Amino acid sequence: MNFLDRLPKDFWTRNETLVAAVIVAFCIVATISDPLFFTVTTVSDLLRASIVIGILAIGAMLVLVSGGIDVSFTAIAVFAMYAATKISLALWPEMPWPMIFIVAMLVGAGLGAINGIFIAFFKLPTLIVTLGTLSVFRGFLLTFVGSQRISALPPEMRDFSRGVLARGTTEAGNFYSIPWSVLALVGVIVLTWFILQKTMLGRSIYAIGGNPESARRIGINVPWTQFFIYVYVGALAGLAGIIHGSVGRMADPFSLVGLELSVIAAVVLGGARLVGGYGTITGTLLGVALIVIVQNSLIVVGIPTTWQSVTIGLLILLGTGVPAYRAKRAAARAG
Amino acid sequence: MAQTDATPFIDLRNITKRYAGVTALDGVDFEVSAGEAVCLAGENGSGKSTLIKIISGVEKPTEGTINIDGYDIPQNSPRIAAARGVMVIFQDFSLFPNLPVYENIAYPTQMNARRRFFDRAAARTLAGDVLARIGVEIDLNERVENLPVAQKQLVAICRALASNAQLIIMDEPTTALTEKEVQRLLGIIRRLKDDGVAVIFVSHKLAEVLEVSEKVVVLRNGQKVAEGPATNFDTKSLTLHMTGRDVPEAKPAAVVQGAPTLMSVNSLGKSGVFSDISFELKAGEILGVTGLLGSGRTSLAKALFGLVRADEGAVSVDGQQIPLGDPIAASQARIGYVPEDRLTEGLFLTQSIMRNVAIGRLDEHARGSFLDMKGLYAEASDWIARLKVKAPDIQAPVQSLSGGNQQRVALARWLSRAPRVLILNGPSVGVDVGSKADIHDIIRELAGEGIGVIVISDDLPELLSTCNRILVMREGRVTDEIDGAAATEADLAHRLAS
């Protein structure tokens, strides 16, 4: 059996393939117009820019797979980041960074649990709940926790941001570095992949997204599964938030919020469907890569940065519109 | 009347179920033995779905005892019933369209084994074994959404078998199947019965499954009104028991000789959906169009009214050609269309009965920029009375009516516009047998007044009792044209599905 035969039947029509092709095409065009584009420096820059958005996107993908949509994760991320920083500064400024991270993830999980309670046990629509909690979490943060930017972070957070896996200077004299936080992204990928692909819990998330009523009928505990999803996604948001604060060397309660639609866009580009049941980690990462490339490197091919959002919008319209249009045509033919 | 040679697999005694004052089931005894196939028949609201829910543990009976496989089950639940091997295959199959075949089949088994990790290899093996057991080949890795309906049903059966089903309850199992597929299903059912698996068919179209069944149980208004060997029943006697009255089989009046041609359709086509559709409709004629789901009958109906834009061909009424894909032009040419799904396409559910009828006549009652409400409402109430809509109050929302009365409201709206041609898509879907006969009377009366009626339906007795002529569609083409007066149900079923 050769390699081509082992590809899934729908390989050529998948969003993943489409997005990968766009990325490759972009890189080719960019390299032609600027030979310096395709260097270790660019790759390491893009990688660094992908970490926070990547972790958030994996969480958002999980929610989409289960048939919901979460727009509150950026508020959770910034809340968890700011609260963890404040807790550390108030109680134990020398708190080791892994502990600060755990605090942030616990805060995130707690806020996610609030989403989970409304969605899983009160059965409210996910968009309504998370739109509400987006505002509430953010408002609560600014009113009761604080609205000052903190640049004097706990020293351990700064130490974390200085840690690198590799660094160096290319022959052309350009500096590159790969920070520790890449490992966090890798860890999230591996853990989420394991949950989704290898555990009954993960498969039940796909099942619920595919058909919630059927899931209930075969005895899946739908509310608890949903509750787990929002807690897990909250914890991921907390992790993304604290990494964002550490790497940016500033706990800014006004940051991150507003990013949620770009993250959801990345996930949708990667093939997750808003109706639920579909979404892969590979697709999500490709979607993130595409969004990050567009946000950071569009200028290389001579497109002004003001066109970023237009480009992202067009990519979404094409990337999701084409398959949706095809499906509609197929349905019309069947009817 | 329990069988003496073996304890029944399911033994329900004196089951009563009340919901907030309404008695859905009233002292029903029901038993099924291993390897036996039972038809459970009844109209909507007869209590058959409640009975199924009680067997499968979804609902608890108010009174009565449940015994499954020799065990008394005082507190039935879906989990307990499933653990004893009771599996329900719902009409929608309850599959996961986004997941591959093997996972659909094997997931519940692994879940019931309380596994934490999903074992793909074991799932594939199990799914392959079960498919082999019923002698069917389906690609294990295909996503269920890409399978045709008949294969989805087989996957659902396999899923039940994988979970060690002792009793499979099938809800409306033959609705979407072709004749060939029904035969294959019956073959599989026979195989399962030989293995000792019991089957309950729940349906209001039972003729097809009678031949593999041992027993028929008929419910009406929550009571068991008939029970006996399947050989004692046929479609006619089932209808009699289900409705409690003899619904006479009426025949349509013949079309008046020399009646003028009202509508003519010339090689109408829409690529990939239907093609080369030509027919003429005479004044006072009732024309049936039938075909299985996916044959293009609904698209054709919509295309005639302009809701779907046909690519080629022409539709004309009284010699005047009507632009394709323009429902407003179609309705100005006095074509009426009552859609199949009146709940989502036909009615404003939360609005009053009155308004639902009146909406079709707003233009006629305009006085300048204002509406003549009195005239509008007088006309609407006149139609509501003429069609005998049973409603406590014509200001009540349409959703408070029964299916049959909702359909009358939809009809009244179009009739108030004095249509020349009326297209009825599934006129009695979701309507009980009694109201159905009344709707058929209305259809025949309308034709008597010279309206040309097109009835689109897959309900063969309905077509036979209303239509002068029946067009059979298959894969987007008209494959047969049958004289309604001479046709028989068996003949029609054969042409429809072979």
Instruction: Tell whether B118 lies on the interface with A, counting CB pairs under 8 A.
Output: yes
Query: How many angstroms away from the CA of B103 is the closest CA of chain A?
Result: 9
| Overall average pLDDT of the B256-260 stretch | 78
B233 part of contact set with chain A, CB < 8 Å: no
**Contact criterion met (CB below 8 Å) for B47 and B24:** yes
B208 φ/ψ angles, rounded to the nearest 5 degrees: -70, -30
Count residue pairs from A and B with Cβ separation < 8 A: 73
Residue of B nearest to A275 (CA): B98
Identify the pLDDT of residue B234: 80
Cβ contacts of A241 within 8 Å, gap of 6 or more: A76, A77, A78, A79, A80, A81, A82, A104, A108, A256
Range B57-60 contact pairs with CB under 8 angstroms and sequence separation of 24 or more: B57/B81, B57/B82, B57/B86, B59/B17
User: Pairing mode, if any, of strands B366-367 and B370-371?
Assistant: antiparallel
Return the closest-CA partner of residue A267 out of A27, A135, A69: A69
* Inter-chain CB proximity A333 and B111 less than 8 Å: no
Residue B200: pLDDT band by 50, 70, 90 thresholds?
very high
Contact B118 A213 (CB under 8 A): no
A271-319 confidence digits (pLDDT tens): 888 888 999 999 999 999 998 988 887 777 777 878 887 888 888 788 7
Q: Average of pLDDT values for B320-344?
A: 83
Nearest CB neighbour to A210, from listed B97, B117, B299 = B97
pTM, two decimal places: 0.77
**B4: pLDDT strictly greater than 60:** no
Tell me the C-alpha distance between A289 and A292, whole Å. Answer: 5
A302 vs A292: CA distance, rounded Å: 17
Residue A126: band (very low, low, confident or very high) from pLDDT cuts 50, 70, 90: very high
Cβ contacts of A210 on chain B, cutoff 8 Å: 96-99
Say whether pLDDT at A41 is over 60. Answer: yes
Confirm if B156 and B127 have CB atoms less than 8 A apart: no
Cα separation, B69 vs B102, in Å, equals: 29
CB contact set of B17 (below 8 Å; sequence gap of 6+): B23, B24, B25, B47, B50, B54, B59, B61, B62, B222
Confidence bin at B6 (pLDDT 50/70/90) = low
Average pLDDT value for residue range B460-469: 85
Higher-pLDDT residue of B45 and B264 is B264
Mean pLDDT of A206-230: 92
| Residue type at position B35 | G
Contact B118 A206 (CB under 8 A): no
Instruction: Write out chain B residues lying below 8 Å of A277, CB-based.
Output: 96-99
- Kindly state the average pLDDT of the residues B429-447: 79
Confidence of residue B2 (pLDDT cuts 50, 70, 90): very low
Reported as a pLDDT band with limits 50, 70 and 90, residue A4 is low
Burial class (CB within 10 angstroms; exposed 0-12, middle 13-18, buried 19+) of A184: buried
Compare CB distances from A333 to B96, B110, B273 and report the shortest one's residue: B273
Query: By percentage, how much of chain B surpasses pLDDT 90?
Result: 16
What contacts B315, CB < 8 A, 6 or more positions away?
B263, B264, B265, B266, B268, B304, B321, B322, B324
ipTM confidence: 0.86
pLDDT at B1: 37
Average pLDDT rounded to a whole number, residues A189-197: 96
pLDDT per residue over B71-92, tens digit each? 888 888 888 888 889 998 887 8
Buried b (16+ CB within 10 A) or exposed e, B369-393: eebeeeebbebbbebbeebebebee
- What local confidence, expressed as pLDDT, does residue A1 receive? 45
Residue of A69 and B405 predicted with greater confidence: A69
Closest CA in chain B for residue A279: B98
Distance CA B432, CA B434 (A): 6
Residue A189 has pLDDT above 70, yes or no: yes
Res. A169: pLDDT tops 70: yes
